Structure 1
């Protein structure tokens, strides 16, 4: 007697389980795409995760992949997997607005950004563009052209940023995972806010990223997902290769990292310029993760870190100077939001000597910080200092106060971009309000796969 094939419940599958079902022909790319489009239609009006959704293009791509599957099997490691890029990344046929009124009427992109091309070549299907703050500058995802991304754990709160739309979409089940970019925490911050795993690779690790070894080259591409294994699946595809195959996924699936020397620290380079105050759950998450790893056999001790002064001002100079490279029209000042306009005013006021001095000092700061962290295989820190603020908290402030509050909210993320090291954000606990609290694990150069294995191990240890 033949038994009917049972179609998996897509809402219950991890990204890896969905990928395997697609590769086995148990689920079609069209069915997977329709499922996530349906969830998006239901959930996005409340959460604002997407700036734009392109159902016709997504379903046409899914049908194309299904035809190719019937002829030759799965296209790549992400065959038929729905996803969405943040609206800073060009996708052929879709408009890139940068979350700004300066580009809201831009024509659709003629071709994929190299990152999008790599993910699409592995079989990914873009459903649309996810919400970002203006030019990806803040650590939230509110802007003047859309509703802004809200946190699925509490829709009155921010989803973080700048990959906040992607994080909200993944946490709400609108996507199985999402590729992001991280220039100062833009993957790790929303991952922590929404209870996800978020990987920031080291500088120059992802082939489609800028390869320049400079503190001015802050942004890298990394995945957000509900589990470390799912993040590893997407990360390996982002690395490229004939079928998007890499070494991170096998390591994460084993979840057996080598025995490590692990330090933990609450030292932030923003002090003493800014007062950094940690909420009790942020400290509890750090303590819980460190204790779990020590019980698991790792050597765990507090890290003695003493960051050189001057980071706050020099990072702000380098961070805001990048806005002068953005594609701005002549009337940008009238179209930009208050924070971006403030940043642009600052950037245009920097003399070449001022910028060169900040770059030089930040380069020396990074070398000293890397030397200190090198005493450990991994250093644990909090990700967020306090709970994700209510929507409108940052944008209601004068720009200088807005930026200072963002730095106090995320006092441990941008320093890793300046150092050029890899790091992963891992959820550790939920508080009484249902909010998630994470730790950041900072690794040595080239240890992205090991960090994902450590994240998977923490998931196992903490249940």
Structure 2
């Protein structure tokens, strides 16, 4: 018999509409799973059980009245970097442990308007700065495939929760790979939309053009549905893309034409190479794409190494300008102080040059990539790593170097603004998930969904679940 948490969000919504289950039952089932498993996983910072059950009862009334939104009563959870009114949002930082935002992020309002019910706030590293999830509030988020290993970051709690069936899907955010990295480490699907697809308002800022929100799910159709809820431009957005003319859920049902897909596995960073498992996943994905009739073409990595130091100027300037009270300095983690101090050393001229370099360089890259429809690389250069691996040296500079060894691919698409997805197509002999990344041209989120859905149908993964979390 299928358990409720084995259903994806689309199937859960259908069961609710058919009155096969109530939202109160569905929410309580997932809250029970959080209580049973989160002590092992570290997926949540805050659980809002009473609020969720109250909203579930309201959803049941709306469903009975026939006037409910499409995902009324389906559980989800918001990342602890995403502002949620009247709910603690600590930004993964002990310095912010009691912060309660005065308003919701627009993305929270949009997801809740679609009917989803939040069960709480998912774990994230301090201010989302790292590609692994650990903090001084609840500790690390762990992949359910091997709980000695980190879930990846910065949306690690969200990915772990989805992979373990604590929620069917969850929004994440991605400024350098923070959706795709944990999707790979947790064996689920993660989609970073094109720049400007999802609003950062009303109080958030995408001044650098690097970050955006997107879905973490077990199925491509759920990711499309969640992005359909999120992808609406709001007043004052700096880089808004227009309302999608065709829902992404419709794109999932469309068979893509024969595509020309460029692939590369060499990183743009000297001295950093992908592991054998990352190459095996990439080769496996290439065979699947070719079996579907697509032309897969080997090309050189089009992104130059010079992007890395310029990206670091922008990344560090962001945390250096964050309004963190001086008295909170002692509560910050060494990694946060490392990036803040780097940002403080950068001048306004340094920042301006870095932003112009990224814009001009990635514009040329995208121009050169016009003959192709999609792009295939590994998601990560390594399988999920032990919890202590990233910062065991105690040296934040070594921490940063290990992050580059782990994830040399994902941030490139934040710089270029392209949509990109991590697909869980490969597992090691030890049972660790290793994702592959498919990307599209800027603004081509819909065609990328079609391709991902086609790959999912040819090499399905939805029923593969981590042992111990069935």
Where on the TM-score scale, by shorter chain, does this alignment land: which range? Answer: over 0.9
Work out which of the residue numbers 24, 36, 46 in structure 2 matches 1:42.
36
Question: Does the aligned pair in 2 maintain the 1:48–1:147 contact within 8 Å?
Answer: yes
Match of 2:325 in 1: 329
Match of 1:149 among 117, 141, 147: 141
Secondary structure of 2:338's partner? Answer: helix
In structure 1, which of residues 295, 299, 305 is the aligned counterpart of residue 295 of structure 2?
Answer: 299
- Structure 1 residue aligned with 2:361: 365
Q: Residue 151 of structure 1: SS of its match in structure 2?
A: coil
TM-score w.r.t. the length of structure 1 is 0.93
Which residue of structure 1 lines up, in the alignment, with residue 467 of structure 2? none
Gaps of 5+ in 1: 1-6
In 2, the alpha carbon distance for the partners of 1:62 and 1:68 equals: 10
Work out which of the residue numbers 52, 77, 85 in structure 1 matches 2:46: 52
Q: Which residue of 1 aligns with 2:266?
A: 267
2:248 is matched with: 248
Contact 2:260 2:295 in 1 (8 A): yes
Distance 1:198 1:210 in 2: 24
Tell me the CA shift for residue 142 of structure 1.
Answer: 0.3
CA distance in 1, matches of 2:203, 2:283: 36
Q: Which moved more, 1:339-348 or 1:320-329?
A: 320-329
Please state if 1:11 is matched with 2:5. Answer: yes
> What residue number does 1:446 align with?
443
Q: Please state how far the C-alpha of 1:306 moved relative to its aligned partner.
A: 3.8
Aligned residues: 449
Distance (whole Å) between structure 1 residues aligned to residue 291 and residue 452 of structure 2? 15
- Cα distance in 2 for partners of 1:338, 1:459 equals 40
C-alpha displacement of 1:396 = 1.9
Q: Identify which of 186, 189, 192 aligns with 2:184.
A: 192
Q: Quote the residue 1:346 is aligned against.
A: 342
1:284 to 264, 280, 283: 280
**Correspondence for 1:97 among 79, 90, 93:** 90
Q: Return the alpha-carbon distance in structure 1 between the equivalents of residues 205 and 323 of structure 2.
A: 23
CA-to-partner distance for each residue in 1:378-402, whole Å, 9 max, x for gaps? Answer: 0100011011110021122310110
Partner of 1:3 in structure 2?
A: none
Which ranges of structure 2 fall in alignment gaps of 5 or more residues? Answer: 234-243, 461-470
**How large is the Cα RMSD of the aligned pairs?**
2.1
Against the structure 1 CA distance between its residues 245 and 30, is the aligned structure 2 distance closer, same or farther, given a 3 Å change threshold? farther
CA contact (8 A) 2:200 2:212 kept: no
Residue in 2 aligned with 1:30? 24
1:181 deviation in Å? Answer: 0.5
Alpha-carbon distance between aligned partners in 2 of 1:246 and 1:80, rounded to the nearest angstrom = 25
Question: Are residues 47 and 381 of structure 1, via their aligned partners in 2, closer, same or farther at CA, if it must alter by over 3 Å?
Answer: same
User: 3-state SS of the aligned residue for 2:442?
Assistant: coil
SS of aligned partner of 1:266: coil
- Checking the alignment, whether the CA contact within 8 Å between 1:228 and 1:453 is kept in structure 2 is no
CA distance in 1, matches of 2:32, 2:204: 41
TM-score by length of 2: 0.91
